[in-house]
Amino acid sequence: AAALEEDEIDNDDYYSLLNVRREATQEELKASYRRLCMLYHPDKHRDPELKKQAEQLFNLVHQAYEVLSDPQSRAIYDIYGKRGLEVEGWEVVERRRTPAEIREEYERLQREREERRLQQRTNPKGTISVGVDATDLFDHYEEDYEEISAGGGSAVPHFEINRMHISQSIEAPLTASDTAILSGSLSTHNGNGGGNINLALRRVTSAKGWGEVEFGAGDTHGPLFGLKIFRNLTSRCFATAQCGMQFSSRGVRPGLTTMIARHLDKNTMGYLQWRWGTQSSMNTSIVRDTKSSHFTFAVQLGIPHTFIMMSYQYKFQDDDQTKIKGSVKSGFFGTVVEYGAETKISRHSILGATVSVGVPQGVSLKIKLNRASQTYFFPFHLTDQLLPSAVFYATVGPLVFYLAIQRLVIRPYVRAHQEQELEKQRESSASDIAKKKQEAETAVLLMQESVRRIIEAEESRMGLIILNAWYGKFVTDNSRKHERARVIDVTVPLQCLVKDSKLVLTEASKAGLPGFYDPCVGEEKSLKVLYQFRGVMHQVLCGDTEALRIPKQSHRIDNDN
């Protein structure tokens, strides 16, 4: 089982080889198997070399059929891949178990694996926040205009870092149910600062809840003792309760916070929170989170903060996970309007920018970078007044800067990194690709006679003739003309799959089809087919894992023109 967990197994080889769906029935498997056996049977070839190569392919097809036609072997193959079938004595699972039981066993092993991984990692989380006072950018033009005009001041705006905050936490799993959490933070504001350190012990009491005890100490607030409890009340409702006592020279300051939440529907949660202590309040909110959007509405009554807030976030369905957001918050402190966006700039990094416009807060720009579990936050306070120029530059400036960095730095770096990774992958799989290429060329030789008969039959009834077919990486974007297309000719293998003037390919990588191999490992591939049906030319381009069924009326070339 340990060996199975180390490597990622490609489970589509057998299905792709037989050109059947993963949900294929026994009848579909048998029909495909018989067809390939007729094609690769060694007795059909007199040449000794071709006979030997046909025997190898015949045995491979037979092996694939044996595995997929047996329900238990097929279930094990779907879960573990080829390695699972090679385990001696079947130490992984008992042979008499059903496919459903095998899947349950696999899920149990996966959970145990995750628990072992959890015990080996500390799950560090950190935040660094640097507040910058940049009001001199806009306010000094009015305040110091006369001084600058007279030569008594500097025309260079003055920036000041007026606050900083650093926090870090790590987790140390003690047992399968107990975890220790150590955290600390340091803060400074206008030359005054302090810090604290906290230790929390969390125990998962059951599948329905957990409890946590917290101890803390700091140079400004004194010792802290707290208790937190989480409990699932029903399948749709849970509650938390948190109490604490802060010890200081002024005495003991107790605090209590309770919260109850309920699933209103599949994507909507309702929250009700009550807080008692130095800042007592009652808060209720509704949060709706879907695949394309996130909406929050909240109302709070409290001392000293009473407000109403509404926010909306739209999620673009792109590779960069781009999001745009906006919110309005109004209360006794004034009104604040915020809008911004965030996008993924690398595999583990997300960059976001938010503009905050409020009364009496003024205008601020907040830049946030998430790198794995670390967060870097840079709020720039631009002006205490509502200046249109500050709002304009806070909105346009980050956008222009990001587009420039994206084009000049990020994209070239990502492209170079991807090329390095692809080159490493090609080097490591060079011998395997050479073997697959040789097998594909052998399969094409063995198909020649069958393809000749298929073409004669199709020509006699004006059926489906594959004129040209290519598989691999095509370069169609003008901006990528420097890249070289890497494709192979698969006309013969595709024609061999034609039956009764039809060609059907399943949703699996086409690199595993007889006569195919992967000409560009790790890159996006497509299949381009030029064919003739009923004397009319057709053409289609489909993705590597897309299902394909031809002929189709939409493939007619004269329709495109």
Residue type, 380: F
Q: Kindly indicate the confidence band of residue 508, based on its pLDDT and cuts at 50, 70 and 90.
A: confident
- The reported pLDDT for the residue numbered 5 is 37
- The reported pLDDT for the residue numbered 523 is 81
Q: Kindly indicate the confidence band of residue 152, based on its pLDDT and cuts at 50, 70 and 90.
A: low
d(C-alpha 446, C-alpha 492), whole Å:
10
Rounded (to 5) percent helix, strand, coil in the chain? 35, 40, 25
Q: Kindly indicate the confidence band of residue 50, based on its pLDDT and cuts at 50, 70 and 90.
A: confident
- The reported pLDDT for the residue numbered 10 is 44
Residue type, 51: K
Residue type, 335: T
3-state secondary structure of 104: helix
Q: What is the pLDDT of residues 421-469, one digit of tens each?
A: 877 777 777 777 888 888 888 888 888 888 999 999 999 989 999 999 9
d(C-alpha 186, C-alpha 5), whole Å:
41
Q: What is the pLDDT of residues 290-337, one digit of tens each?
A: 999 999 999 999 887 899 999 999 999 887 889 999 999 999 888 999
Q: Which residues of 27-39 are buried (b: 16+ CB within 10 A; e: fewer)?
A: ebbeebbebbeeb
Q: What does the longest C-alpha to C-alpha distance in the chain come to?
A: 103
Supply the mean pLDDT for the chain: 83
Q: Please give the residue that has the higher pLDDT: either 473 or 213.
A: 213
- The sign of the torsion formed by the CA atoms of 27, 33, 39, 44 equals negative
Contacts of 396 (CB under 8 A, 6+ apart): none
Residue type, 186: L
d(C-alpha 161, C-alpha 21), whole Å:
61
DSSP code at position 556: B
Question: For residue 426, which phi and psi values (nearest 5 degrees)?
Answer: -65, -40
Does residue 472 have a pLDDT over 80?
Answer: yes
Q: Which residue has the tokens 């005495």?
A: 251
- In residues, how long is the chain? 561
3-state secondary structure of 518: coil
Pairing status of strand 125-133 against strand 374-383: parallel
Model pTM? 0.60
Burial class of 293 by CB neighbour count within 10 A (0 to 12, 13 to 18, 19+): middle
3-state secondary structure of 247: strand
- The reported pLDDT for the residue numbered 120 is 54
d(C-alpha 229, C-alpha 211), whole Å:
4
* Whether the Cβ atoms of residue 556 and residue 538 lie closer than 8 Å to each other: yes
Residue type, 412: P
Does residue 116 have a pLDDT over 90?
Answer: no
> How is residue 11 written in tokens?
């489970």
d(C-alpha 196, C-alpha 198), whole Å:
7
Q: Kindly indicate the confidence band of residue 95, based on its pLDDT and cuts at 50, 70 and 90.
A: very low
The radius of gyration of the chain's CA atoms, rounded to the nearest angstrom, is 33
Q: What is the pLDDT of residues 160-211, one digit of tens each?
A: 898 999 999 988 888 888 989 999 999 998 888 889 999 999 999 988 899 9
Does residue 90 have a pLDDT over 60?
Answer: no
Other C-beta atoms lying within 10 Å of the C-beta of residue 356: 21
Closest CA to 438 of 13, 41, 56, 46: 56
- The reported pLDDT for the residue numbered 483 is 54
Closest CA to 225 of 202, 244, 199: 244
- The reported pLDDT for the residue numbered 88 is 43
Beta strands in 12-135 (DSSP E): 125-133
Q: Kindly indicate the confidence band of residue 476, based on its pLDDT and cuts at 50, 70 and 90.
A: low
Q: Which residue has the tokens 């409020």?
A: 358
* Whether the Cβ atoms of residue 284 and residue 302 lie closer than 8 Å to each other: no
> How is residue 211 written in tokens?
């409890």
- The reported pLDDT for the residue numbered 222 is 79
Does residue 7 have a pLDDT over 90?
Answer: no
β-sheet with 464-473: strand ranges across: 486-489, 464-473, 526-533, 536-543
- The reported pLDDT for the residue numbered 411 is 81
Beta strands in 235-373 (DSSP E): 237-248, 251-263, 268-276, 281-289, 293-302, 307-315, 323-331, 334-344, 349-359, 362-371
- The reported pLDDT for the residue numbered 155 is 61
Does residue 256 have a pLDDT over 90?
Answer: yes
Percent of the chain with pLDDT over 70: 85
Q: Kindly indicate the confidence band of residue 478, based on its pLDDT and cuts at 50, 70 and 90.
A: low
Least confident of 28-42, 221-235, 290-304: 28-42
Q: What is the pLDDT of residues 120-133, one digit of tens each?
A: 566 788 999 999 99
Closest CA to 185 of 172, 176, 173, 194: 194
- The reported pLDDT for the residue numbered 3 is 39
Q: Kindly indicate the confidence band of residue 356, based on its pLDDT and cuts at 50, 70 and 90.
A: very high
